[in-house]
Structure 1
């Protein structure tokens, strides 16, 4: 068993195809298939069920995959630690972020990081705050930027507060509320809303604010991203509640302050284990390496 065989298995599992896995690994399919078959023979179990239509993991394959990922991660970290001992930061940095992060200028931070550490491969993954916390806890992300209600509690990760601020009502330019200098939740309760999925951290901030005020509202449209949300608001389909700092960047829409609006806290979360050299350098750049 060697690391390359593990990489091939991982590629097949993630693409559900020997052909696409070979393309990802830059080898001919016959060579990849041969190495997977050799590994299966050594393990005494088939890792994949192969049919003319699909490829999927067997129970043995499901059991093998987590350990294979750990072995590959350990090998990658060993190389990075050796490089760090000689004064060079290299390896992989995987960062997660919600689409509405504003506490840091993430593109600028990643630009500066790449200039300082050109040997590090950087990956950025988007997701909801709940998803990102889970991925950090599992070790699939080195760090993540999330936005949550003030009472949100993270578990199994380190976190620090970066910023907090109120939401504003985001409306179309011709919406009646666009002419208001400010509004309150009671006035907004009569509107139709475009919001994130029920139960998500992004939605909870608004739901909790209305509940605390003893008000009910109608969320007619649930979306997964702010791009679609802003398009629907622009078409007059509803009102959205978004962080003021983020809403200011939306073109063609009006932001109206809310006197008793929801509050969002932006946090940086990271795994509790010792960070890799690449992750440690990123945290140091943010001033979050304590």
Structure 2
């Protein structure tokens, strides 16, 4: 199997048209057709069924598509990595990270990326879930890392990275923090002012779970980022719901929610069908292969 055959198949699976796929790959249609036929012979079956009005992938083609895409991405990354090692070419990469994702989690993948691409020029933007979607749509970001974004755009490719619990954070001098218990019930929060997060990916799911338990938070203040929430917690302005991996402070304490089972999945996002740069593909592979368990999180359900 040759990477050229794989590239032709990926183009064909995207266009479902031999003529357009040949144009996209800058080859003649007969050459592309021969390559696809050779690939089918090697894999032992038909990958795409040609019909007069509409061509479509066969069952074998659908099963092979993600595997061949991964194979092609890995080969592209390896080739680019070899080139990067031999040169100091600047490789720009724009990444948008949700306000709710602690960038400290990404130190290891970034370290490996910088080692692989000494000339990488990383541009990191922060934003709300809506800003994350807009950055991907406009092409301002090749990759994005965020919590659940919902079904807001059907062109999103999503790779879940880890699942984390939602906890309660309080000031170290708060009465709830001075107890010997490591958890807290919702009934104990009835009179507590709650710091609310603006545009937090987990807000809707959290509100639904709290409502199901008959608890309606008394909102005290509204903040946009974990850092702002942490500052108000240190000022003892209320209590707040945070993700397990959110930034911590020696002046605050985390408590498990005794009668509430709520969590979120953090994923990496990209635009389906859009060509990714080799450096973006490398970072994507590093994120997907990272060991997130060291942060106390679990595999996505």
User: Above 0.5 in TM-score?
Assistant: yes
Q: Please, what is the CA RMSD of the aligned residues?
A: 2.9
Q: 2:197 maps to which residue?
A: 196
Q: 2:170 maps to which residue?
A: 171
Q: 2:245 maps to which residue?
A: 245
SS of the residue aligned with 1:130? helix
SS of the residue aligned with 1:93? strand
Once the two structures are superposed, residues 174-193 of structure 1 have per-residue CA deviations (whole angstroms, 9 ceiling, x without a partner) of 21111142112233243111
Distance apart, 1:205 and its partner CA: 3.7
Q: Does the 8 Å contact 1:147/1:201 carry over to 2?
A: yes
Distance apart, 1:125 and its partner CA: 1.1
Alignment partners' CA distance in 1, 2:183 and 2:80: 53
Report which stretch shifted further, 228-237 or 125-134: 125-134
Distance apart, 1:277 and its partner CA: 1.9
Once the two structures are superposed, residues 125-163 of structure 1 have per-residue CA deviations (whole angstroms, 9 ceiling, x without a partner) of 1112332133123221111111238xx335221012111
Once the two structures are superposed, residues 80-101 of structure 1 have per-residue CA deviations (whole angstroms, 9 ceiling, x without a partner) of x9x9599347531111212443
Distance apart, 1:254 and its partner CA: 0.7
Distance apart, 1:168 and its partner CA: 1.1
Q: Does the 8 Å contact 1:95/1:124 carry over to 2?
A: yes
Q: 2:160 maps to which residue?
A: 161
Alignment partners' CA distance in 2, 1:165 and 1:99: 16
1:4-23 map, 5 Å: none
1:10-49 map, 5 Å: none
Q: For structure 1, which runs of at least 5 residues remain unmatched after alignment?
A: 1-80
Cα 1:143/1:233, change in 2 over 3 Å: same
Alignment partners' CA distance in 1, 2:81 and 2:251: 52
Q: 1:254 maps to which residue?
A: 253
Q: 1:208 maps to which residue?
A: 208
SS of the residue aligned with 1:245? coil
Q: 1:282 maps to which residue?
A: 283
Report which stretch shifted further, 182-191 or 268-277: 182-191
Q: Does the 8 Å contact 1:137/1:157 carry over to 2?
A: no
Distance apart, 1:194 and its partner CA: 0.9
SS of the residue aligned with 2:215? coil
2:123 is the alignment partner of 1:126: no
SS of the residue aligned with 1:266? strand
Q: 1:181 maps to which residue?
A: 182
**Runs (4+) of structure 1 moved beyond 4 Å?**
83-86
Alignment partners' CA distance in 1, 2:205 and 2:103: 17
Alignment partners' CA distance in 1, 2:285 and 2:217: 43
Q: 1:105 maps to which residue?
A: 105
1:262-281 map, 5 Å: 262-272=262-272, 273-281=274-282
Distance apart, 1:122 and its partner CA: 0.9
Q: 1:229 maps to which residue?
A: 229
Q: Does the 8 Å contact 2:81/2:117 carry over to 1?
A: no
Distance apart, 1:111 and its partner CA: 2.3
Distance apart, 1:240 and its partner CA: 0.6
Q: For structure 2, which runs of at least 5 residues remain unmatched after alignment?
A: 1-76, 290-301
* Among 81, 87, 94, the residue aligned to 2:83: 87
Alignment partners' CA distance in 1, 2:240 and 2:142: 31
Q: Does the 8 Å contact 2:161/2:287 carry over to 1?
A: no
SS of the residue aligned with 1:269? strand
Once the two structures are superposed, residues 68-89 of structure 1 have per-residue CA deviations (whole angstroms, 9 ceiling, x without a partner) of xxxxxxxxxxxxx9x9599347
